[in-house]
Structure 1
Amino acid sequence: MLISQQVLERPVAGVRPFALTALRHPKVSTLLADHRVLLADLLDGLGSPLHVVLPEVFEENVARLRQAFAESGATADILFAKKANKAGCYVRSAAALGIGVDVASAPELVKALAGGVPGHRIGISGPEKDDALLALAVQHGCLVAVASVSELRRLAATARTAGRQASVLLRARTAGQSGSRFGLSPAERTAAVGLCGELADHVRLRGFSFHLGGYSAAERAAAANEMIEHCLDARRRGCPTAELVDIGGGLPVRYVDPRLWSEFLAQNEPAHYHADKHFKDFYPYGGQTAVEAVRAIMAHPVDGAESLSAKAARTGIRFLVEPGRALLDQTGFTLFRVQQVDDRRATDGYAILTVAGSSFCLSEQWFNSDYLPDPLLLSPGPAADEVFPACVAGSTCLESDLVTWRKIGFPRPVRRGDHLVYLNTAGYQMDSNESPFHDAALPLKAALWLGDGDGPPRWRLDGI
């Protein structure tokens, strides 16, 4: 049974100050309600912070996304963007479900192959890939997104040496991206298509891709439509296998209830953060879901009236999509142990909790932003009459090492040894920016399976 977004638990606004409560998948709710002892034992035994990953939820997300494309009338192949999380369990799930993986380095490619994903289901992205990555890609029949004419020539030479034909996507700049460092300009794209025809014994042009920031369905649909036109032009110029349009990732995730998110934005101000910290931008935590975005992109009218999916079907175009965060929605959370409480309520009005770990373990700081969904106090204890306001600091010597700058209203005073849980951290938060600063060990990941719920959860260290 597919899990609908509507079954996620929704918080009630105004329960306590600073409340921005994260949505929870039922499996996450079950773990937090019924298996706290197991989670505490794992944290104590494996160290703080500890990342818990849930491949069963990943598999549900794949099914939901597949269904969204099918219901939109589009033919689409899914490539999981491995950069969003390094956990091997997600790659193994991708292999079992028959979806692909998008990688951008030789180590990522090796891990995808080792996880059971065949080469023809692996996409290689990234600008100006090195010779070792190109050689591996050719050897295993991967689909290579080429971003320059020089890279295309190097790939063709690699394929010639290997006695193989490389599968190629040409990564093109969209009409509104003249200043982008990614992709081929119109003149370069024209030259690259001609070169694919000249080097047809060594490269096979499969289609086009693009890089696009942000979450605008209209912009992504317009860019995809440009790529369809590029495919049609390439066919006319002697490349009949140009049939793929890679729309990239950029599918949003909803972390909190949209109404609560709107209320947060309306009242947000620097006084709500440690040291009156000011942030210019946040991830749209209460925006669209990935399924809603897919429907909007595929239904968007192009060329005046026809929907993008209808035009693709009419012209024999298949889509590729490279979701990372969207497939990792609700598939993991992060546990921290509190190792100090600096209660400054009498002077500053809030406390500073220092946890075993650092802000490198949640990567939103990388984007000069704050991870906004409230951390939960996992350790048991009766609620107090008033909330306990506190921000959360890391245990490094850096003044800026704040895991959460925002002052959180905890239901009771937090104590040394308590456990905090940050929800929905699998997508880009867990390990995009991790660091062995101070010679600290990198956090471990524990993969958990709840199964049908009749027995206790199974777990193992990821990668073991």
Structure 2
Amino acid sequence: MAVTPPPSLPAHPDPRLDAILNGGLPQELAYAFGGPFHLLLPERFDANVAAFRAALDEAGVDGRVYYAKKANKAAAWIERCAVNGTGVDVASLGELREALGHGVRGENVVVTGPAKADDLLRVAVLQGCLVAVDALDELDRAIDLAETLARPARLLLRRLPPAQPNSRLGLDETELATALERCAEAADAVRMEGFSFHLSGYATQPRTDLAGELVELCLKARVMGLQADRISIGGGFAVDYAAAGDWERFLTEQRPADYHAGKSFTAADFYPYHSPVAGSDALREILAARPSGTGAPLADRLRETGVMLLMEPGRALLDRAGCTLFRIQGVKERNGYAILTVDGTSLSLSEQWFNSEYLPDPVLLTTGDGPNGGPARACVGGATCLESDMLTWRKVAFPVRPRPGDLLVYPNTAGYQMDSNESPFHDLPLPPKVVVDQTDGRIRWRLDRRPPA
């Protein structure tokens, strides 16, 4: 009886990446490193930044893009930010030092996150960074620091989203009113430059709605003598990993029998791997929409009021900017499918540690030594003794049978997958990051300047 193949979810075609993977470089690097590694494509990062800037230009809106550094620890992205003037969003002293150390000017850094440490605030004020204030006591500390250092603190006031009242981040309406009064009273110690928010999820209209509210708050703050000429809408720009038909088919057809050990997932457990409006197109939609569905489009309101739009995309700037490769070191047959063991762990594919699954199909690169046999289904486990160390619970349908020595390529992993949860568990080394340069028709590589840590 024919076995129904498990649903697949191929990533969007990527001929430029295929040109790298189909050459000899992957096997050479796998031999050199003796373990898994990540490929970084900084040209893609530059292109994604340019796409966001183009969306602002098309709408005639003054704005600034800040790369959310938490999405990937590699130095390559910060180096590109320093060169092309992209801002950087940081939330720790370590991240701030990394940004400054790679040449990003303090004025191009926004400091976010709750309850910021005194050392972080001190360096941020000294370097002229823009600080998103999350609480009244944090505002008081920032003002005290500014007065002590005789340096004005550049501040945004972070708004608690009314539609997400249970969020632990931001100032509610009463706190916001108090914060504005304190900023006005602080006079030259503070440059209150505007307001910010960050919404969960990827819907665009709620971002337009809240941005419209922040524009009105800027106008009220100006009456109090405050600068208030910019707002930040945070991140949450979706990435489109796969085609709509493939995504819909996957969600419809997937069932526990398609996963090792009968593991089950619901649609709500997964990142939305297809998004009809993603990246810079989501920004276009936000700008074109009308706040709360009435009045002028957001872009018009920003222009009319002279309010600058700031944003902090992370994953969206890393779309197609990297992939992760593992070498297969063991193949075991079990109940009609294979269990592959690779030379790394699921700690280097972070989605697995959120009770979810990274769904874009891994691509098999065979060594070409001898016949592989026909199509085969296989799940993928890590090189540890933990039952839960699974890179892919799903029984992926491969065109040929995987063998030890073959490579598995997980596509489009630069955004949050590579290093959010990496750990040298079992004393296994962290996968190195390899920066690939495709200029002048040549493919060259170097190690990322930040050593694994």
Band the TM-score falls in, shorter-chain normalisation: over 0.9
Q: Which moved more, 1:377-386 or 1:358-367?
A: 377-386
How do 1:159-174 residues align onto structure 2 when only pairs under 5 Å count? 159-174=146-161
How do 1:32-51 residues align onto structure 2 when only pairs under 5 Å count? 32-33=21-22, 35=23, 37-51=24-38
Partner of 1:232: 219
Taking the aligned partners of 1:82 and 1:383, their CA distance within structure 2 comes to: 44
1:47 CA drift (Å):
3.2
The question of 1:334 aligning with 2:321 is answered no
Q: Deviations over 1:110-158 (max 9, x none)?
A: 0001111100000000000000000110110000000011000001111
How do 1:138-157 residues align onto structure 2 when only pairs under 5 Å count? 138-157=125-144
The question of 1:207 aligning with 2:194 is answered yes
1:272 CA drift (Å):
1.1
How do 1:227-306 residues align onto structure 2 when only pairs under 5 Å count? 227-239=214-226, 241-280=227-266, 281-287=269-275, 288-302=277-291, 304-306=294-296
1:202 CA drift (Å):
1.1
2:319 aligned partner, one-letter code: D
Taking the aligned partners of 1:64 and 1:44, their CA distance within structure 2 comes to: 37
Q: Deviations over 1:76-134 (max 9, x none)?
A: 10000000000001000011111110000001000001111100000000000000000
Taking the aligned partners of 1:127 and 1:290, their CA distance within structure 2 comes to: 26
Partner of 2:86: 99
Q: Deviations over 1:277-333 (max 9, x none)?
A: 112321111113212211111111125131111111111111101010000001100
Partner of 1:309: 299
Partner of 2:41: 54
The question of 1:388 aligning with 2:342 is answered no
> Contact conserved, 2:210 with 2:291, CA < 8 A, in 1?
no
Q: Deviations over 1:155-188 (max 9, x none)?
A: 1111111110010000011221222110001000
Name the SS of the counterpart of 2:332 in structure 1: strand
1:390 CA drift (Å):
0.3
> Contact conserved, 1:340 with 1:353, CA < 8 A, in 2?
yes
1:429 aligned partner, one-letter code: Q
> Contact conserved, 1:269 with 1:278, CA < 8 A, in 2?
yes
Taking the aligned partners of 1:93 and 1:242, their CA distance within structure 2 comes to: 29
Q: Which moved more, 1:85-94 or 1:227-236?
A: 227-236
Taking the aligned partners of 1:86 and 1:337, their CA distance within structure 2 comes to: 23
Q: Is there any run of 5+ residues in structure 2 with no aligned partner, and where?
A: none
Taking the aligned partners of 1:275 and 1:57, their CA distance within structure 2 comes to: 38
Q: Would the alpha carbon gap of residues 56 and 226 (structure 1) be closer, same or farther in structure 2, given more than 3 Å must change? A: same
Partner of 2:314: 324
Name the SS of the counterpart of 2:439 in structure 1: coil
Q: Would the alpha carbon gap of residues 372 and 196 (structure 1) be closer, same or farther in structure 2, given more than 3 Å must change? A: same
Q: Is there any run of 5+ residues in structure 1 with no aligned partner, and where?
A: 1-14
Partner of 2:59: 72
1:273 aligned partner, one-letter code: Y
Q: Which moved more, 1:380-389 or 1:291-300?
A: 380-389
1:75 CA drift (Å):
1.8
Name the SS of the counterpart of 1:366 in structure 2: helix
**TM-score of the superposition, structure 1-length normalised?**
0.92
> Contact conserved, 1:83 with 1:324, CA < 8 A, in 2?
yes
The question of 1:370 aligning with 2:357 is answered yes
Partner of 1:178: 165
Name the SS of the counterpart of 2:161 in structure 1: coil
2:243 aligned partner, one-letter code: D
> Contact conserved, 1:357 with 1:394, CA < 8 A, in 2?
yes
Taking the aligned partners of 1:380 and 1:436, their CA distance within structure 2 comes to: 28
Report how many aligned residue pairs link the two structures: 443
How do 1:8-23 residues align onto structure 2 when only pairs under 5 Å count? 17-23=6-12
> Contact conserved, 1:20 with 1:261, CA < 8 A, in 2?
yes
> Contact conserved, 1:17 with 1:387, CA < 8 A, in 2?
no
Taking the aligned partners of 1:193 and 1:25, their CA distance within structure 2 comes to: 49
Q: Deviations over 1:359-396 (max 9, x none)?
A: 10010023211000011111244887742100000111
Taking the aligned partners of 1:131 and 1:384, their CA distance within structure 2 comes to: 59
Q: Deviations over 1:227-281 (max 9, x none)?
A: 1121111112221x10111000100111111111111111121211111111232
CA-based RMSD of the aligned residues comes to 1.6
Q: Would the alpha carbon gap of residues 115 and 262 (structure 1) be closer, same or farther in structure 2, given more than 3 Å must change? A: same
> Contact conserved, 2:372 with 2:402, CA < 8 A, in 1?
no
1:48 CA drift (Å):
1.9
> Contact conserved, 1:447 with 1:462, CA < 8 A, in 2?
no
Name the SS of the counterpart of 2:184 in structure 1: helix
Q: Which moved more, 1:183-192 or 1:47-56?
A: 47-56
2:258 aligned partner, one-letter code: H
1:279 aligned partner, one-letter code: F
Q: Deviations over 1:206-233 (max 9, x none)?
A: 0111121000001111111121121111
The question of 1:358 aligning with 2:349 is answered no
**TM-score of the superposition, structure 2-length normalised?**
0.95
The question of 1:403 aligning with 2:391 is answered yes
